[in-house]
Structure 1
């Protein structure tokens, strides 16, 4: 009776997972741990290296996720300090799903830039790790291992908004003879990978004080990360719609573009074309010049920020389009016909685009035709040289009564690599002489009819002299 009562009243136990159900540190705040740092911490808790987790634990998880059939994890997972693991692309989304299945924890995508994927576009993360030494010291003072914040990996964030000091790339400050050997090092965010110093205390360089604009940008991004759950659930179409309403007055959109360093055509396309997205840096510049709250704007609300003083200067600099010197362009195109330069090289030298050159249709077409003819002549010369070399080797081998094989050709001082065109020509000549043991080269499919006709003519010349001497080898190819 007691056993039956236990089974009736037993609690619902979570499904077992191959790894601990560890949550990212700083969760729910703007100082949330990045997914890359979380993965390193998770591996450290299991007393395994991250590579061991990838090789031994995660394949079992991948086998149960049908949506990732054929996916392999291995080389490159930590490239650029785990940049792809914390970005806004499908790779970061895949990593968050895999680690969620491995630990049974949901919401790990909030430790990446994935919540912004539907709202903005562009590369938002740095290629290197960056830290605030004072924050790492605070972690130790609170009795936890230092960890890497997602905020620190954002390109537009140059400082710590809490301590108002610049973020620095961690570099070991101890002599090389004091560093740990490679197999004794611990790969963990907030710990020096060379000497093992916790909190990067080995580097005593003092970080410079950040400017007011840098602090404002960092604080806006930290508030945005705090609001990631609401941003992820919001409608992306509301963001451009609010800006359209904000610029409802005639000329307002042009004024906004001038103040924020944007291009009026880009802003117009963004607010009028469904599905269009703006770069994150441009949206942050708009918030800086207008004093808007970034987190609220991404959710489709216009709110003035409470920490706004003077307008924050935009970081994006509008591209300066210089007028083209069409007389110099015509002179350069005429010279290119004689010198053999391509339209691409002319455009690079004059610092103009191809469309500008194409405005001079007559000279543009003449230069392109000359380039095409020159390339065709070069290809013909290369083909003729390959045929002559292969045909010469074939005649030498047949005079000695030997088969036309690459190994025998090497004895005549002509070694043909499988990737060279001479290899393909020699194989086709063998086929033309009656050797049916040769597999048809796959590269021959890409050869032009004119090239194949010349190879066939070479095979006929060799056959007229020696006949079909290449009898099929008595080999079993089954």
Structure 2
């Protein structure tokens, strides 16, 4: 069966993938709402309904970190991919680094932006959008325009106006409607520019073909850096990068993960890039000033070795999915994920067309089964209700449970609607 190409929502392409200007999933979500002329809250409800998930009545999408490493970001990347048919929306988040980074310190304290970026987007005739780098805590500047990020509307003077509203048009104030690209931005400091440049290069490395580091390499990277910079002494290394020695010991012995700020400090002191440190690309690295002290590598035998990450053959997986599409009885995407031992969200991100084809076939099958169950219930009710009337028995659920087999009655969602329909047809009081 050929996979379907039609999507539930507009197949809106992401902006800047593989560059420092990559769009955030938050921005993608807001632009998608604009393209459908609905509020962000309504779009959120449409998406979760399409995916068959429940959503709380007081759900506020802007309280979710859609672009970080959280489970929420992972879910929304997969859900939006399933609804739009656009693969690899996880590249608009940091979820591929979730085994390498903790959430602490990763999110910014304020919703800020570079006014020059927004103004450039608009001048070029493009839709302004929010950059993923703006969603990363240490970034306080734009490396392209060499200015600090701002968080105050230049027209109404309010803060938290970038996207904290039901209607969001990226680039315009959610309170007064003024263009956020009109703001003045002070010049960035050299330190701020270095951080922005390092983070930009790091997120630019997220491409569809890129391999991602795993937590197994974290300890190896730390050992190499500590040995090379401080002769293998964690306490000296901790002092060098401005952290407590207990923090460094926690990384080495307890498996704790360094924060993004710690990785940046390691990059600054080693002369490596943030991307090299986070990916563990240290094979050719040597410290600028070799330490004369001889030290042995750390003995980490007390810590159990982690298994090597599983390498997924996506060509083989797609062939498996094609076979599943031909099964006489359809299966859900969740069941396909279980059979392949893969999180079904990854199927939407890496094999989108096939996953959606499975999902649509499963939904059609479910709808046909519901129709069969409803028809079976109608047949039993049409036979049972007249008999209840003749016997002078009341029309209630207790009597119906005696007259209709439980497996027939329980198989129908909204059974009372079917009962009401049959009662009205037969004019039963």
1:104-124 per-residue CA deviation (whole Å, 9 max, x = no partner) reads 112112212212211011241
Residues 1:112 and 2:93 aligned together: yes
> Helix, strand or coil: the match of 2:73?
helix
2:280 is the alignment partner of 1:300: yes
Superposition pairs for residues 393-472 of structure 1, below 5 Å? Answer: none
What is the match of residue 151 of structure 2? 169
Q: Which has the higher contact order (CA 8 A, sep 6+)?
A: 2
Q: Residue in 1 aligned with 2:123?
A: 141
Matches within 5 A, 1:34-433: 34-55=24-45, 57-63=46-52, 69-70=53-54, 72=56, 75-79=59-63, 83-121=64-102, 122-174=104-156, 186-201=167-182, 203=183, 206-229=184-207, 233-248=212-227, 250-273=231-254, 275-302=255-282
8 A contact 2:266–2:277 mirrored in 1: no
| Cα displacement (A) at 1:71 | 5.1
Structure 2 contact 17–206 (Cα < 8 Å) conserved: no
- 8 Å contact from structure 2 (residues 118, 180) kept in 1: yes
Post-superposition offset of 1:222: 0.6
Q: Could you tell me how far 1:59 is from its partner in structure 2? A: 3.6
The structural deviation recorded for 1:127 is: 4.2
1:246-281 CA-to-partner distances (Å, cap 9, x unmatched) read 3236454333211101222322332344x4312221
- How far the C-alpha of 1:197 sits from its partner, in A, is 2.9
Bigger Cα displacement from structure 2, 84-93 vs 70-79 = 70-79
CA-CA distance at 1:72 after TM superposition: 4.7
- Asked if the contact 1:293–1:302 (Cα under 8 Å) also holds between the matched residues in 2, the reply is no
1:27 maps onto 2:8 in alignment: no
Q: Rg: which structure is higher?
A: 1
Cα deviation, residue 199, structure 1: 4.2
8 Å contact from structure 1 (residues 34, 148) kept in 2: yes
Counterparts of 1:283 and 1:127 in 2: how far apart (Å)? 19
Residue number in structure 2 paired with 1:357: none
- Give the Å deviation of 1:159: 0.6
Deviation at 1:168, TM superposition (A): 0.3
| Alpha-carbon shift at residue 52 of structure 1 (Å) | 2.2
In the superposition, the TM-score normalised over structure 2's length comes to 0.59
Q: TM-score scaled by structure 1?
A: 0.53
Name the CA distance, whole Å, in 1 between partners of 2:211 and 2:25. 17
RMSD: 3.0
Does the C-alpha gap of structure 1 residues 77 and 258 become closer, same or farther in structure 2, counting only changes over 3 Å? Answer: same
Q: CA, structure 1 residues 212+304, in 2 after alignment: closer, same or farther (shift >3 Å)?
A: farther
1:431-467 deviations in Å (ceiling 9; x for gaps):
xxxxxxxxxxxxxxxxxxxxxxxxxxxxxxxxxxxxx
Measured after TM superposition, the shift of residue 37 of structure 1 is 1.1
User: Aligned equivalents of 1:175 and 1:256: distance in 2?
Assistant: 44
What is the CA-CA distance between 1:218 and the residue it aligns to?
0.6
Gaps of 5+ in 1: 1-10, 64-68, 177-182, 310-478
5+ long unaligned stretches in structure 2: 159-164, 289-429
